[in-house]
Amino acid sequence: MTIGEGGNVDRSVNRELCPLTQLPLHHNSPIQRLSSVAFDELNPFSRRAVRSRRALHLERLQRELCDLRRQQSEFLSLRRKSAEEESAGGDQEEALDNSEED
């Protein structure tokens, strides 16, 4: 059979698998075995590798978050200082303007 000839193959597979979905989920059931093979034996991603990758990315994200929080606090402190300097500079200018008027 070629690819073009297999138009109804999915229907026959579904017809064969449909009774399996109605079986109870016991440890020795075909569904349990199929699930075990699909997700444990054939799975190209081992759980240990996934966990280690997840931990690596989590650590990287936490470092980036700490850096961003540090940068944010530095920015806010600089903005606060510049606002204080502007207000202090404005007060000095007002004092100079008032002394010149006298």
Residues 10-50: tens digit of each pLDDT: 556 556 666 656 555 555 788 888 888 877 777 777 778 88
Domain residue spans of the chain = 27-101
DSSP state of 82: H
> pTM of the predicted model, to two decimals?
0.44
The residues near 31 (Cβ < 8 Å, ≥ 6 apart) are 20, 21, 23, 25
